[in-house]
């Protein structure tokens, strides 16, 4: 074990730096909040005459459909694209927030993912019933990618998900 008494003023300085860094990290956590979308239920609406051709084309190109009710919505950090401290402080986060949405129709359940802008509104909510369309989407596992790429230039794994 090292005798730190021989370090003299360095040991006190090191303790002060460590304490100051903990205080600054605590303040940064209070000041810089992670951006999240506003979960604002929106009234369902029929497409207008101008939007109808696009809606019909989107329905025809969908990889899957489901008529049911949203029974559960959870954050899925695995696919979130987080922002750094500076981008968060400047409110310039261009990442995504991911939700795993559970759909049910009484007999079957189905999971669909939603990728939302951190500063936007997200109109889906629990107990909403409707016809849901989704497309197969490549979703990178950003949580794992950031951890492995910090240590090496490793490949970033992905999953093929059903997404709104």
pLDDT tens digits for 107-125?
999 999 998 887 777 788 8
pLDDT one-digit tens code per residue, 75-109: 888 888 777 777 767 777 777 888 999 999 989 99
Of the candidates 109, 106, 98, the one whose C-alpha atom is nearest the C-alpha of residue 163 is 98
C-alpha span between 30 and 23 (Å, rounded): 11
Q: Does residue 139 share a domain with residue 120? A: yes
Q: Does residue 134 share a domain with residue 72? A: yes
Range with the lowest mean pLDDT among 86-90, 102-106, 126-130, 158-162? Answer: 86-90
Q: Does residue 118 share a domain with residue 63? A: yes
C-alpha span between 53 and 66 (Å, rounded): 21
Q: Does residue 75 share a domain with residue 108? A: yes
Q: Does residue 49 share a domain with residue 130? A: yes
Q: Does residue 24 share a domain with residue 78? A: no
pTM value > 0.75: no
C-alpha span between 95 and 116 (Å, rounded): 9
Q: Does residue 22 share a domain with residue 96? A: no
Of the candidates 36, 32, 33, the one whose C-alpha atom is nearest the C-alpha of residue 122 is 36
Range of the domain at 9: 1-31
Q: Summarize the confidence of residues 32-36 as an average pLDDT.
A: 54
How many structural domains compose the chain? 2
What's the pLDDT at 11? Answer: 53
Report the percentage of the chain scoring pLDDT > 90.
Answer: 23
């Amino acid at each position: 074990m090292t005798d730190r008494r021989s370090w003299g003023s360095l040991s006190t300085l090191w303790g002060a730096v460590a304490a100051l860094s903990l205080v600054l990290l605590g303040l940064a956590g209070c000041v810089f909040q992670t951006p999240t979308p506003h979960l604002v239920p929106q009234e369902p609406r029929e497409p207008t005459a101008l939007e109808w051709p696009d809606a019909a084309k989107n329905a025809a190109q969908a990889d899957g459909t489901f008529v049911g009710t949203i029974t559960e919505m959870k954050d899925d950090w695995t696919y979130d694209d987080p922002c750094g401290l500076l981008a968060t402080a400047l409110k310039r986060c261009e990442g995504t927030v991911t939700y795993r949405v559970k759909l049910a129709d009484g007999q079957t359940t189905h999971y669909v993912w939603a990728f939302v802008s951190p500063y936007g509104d997200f109109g889906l909510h629990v107990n909403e019933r409707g016809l849901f369309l989704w497309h197969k989407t490549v979703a990178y596992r950003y949580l794992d990618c950031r951890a492995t790429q910090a240590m090496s230039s490793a490949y970033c794994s992905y999953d093929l998900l059903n997404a709104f």
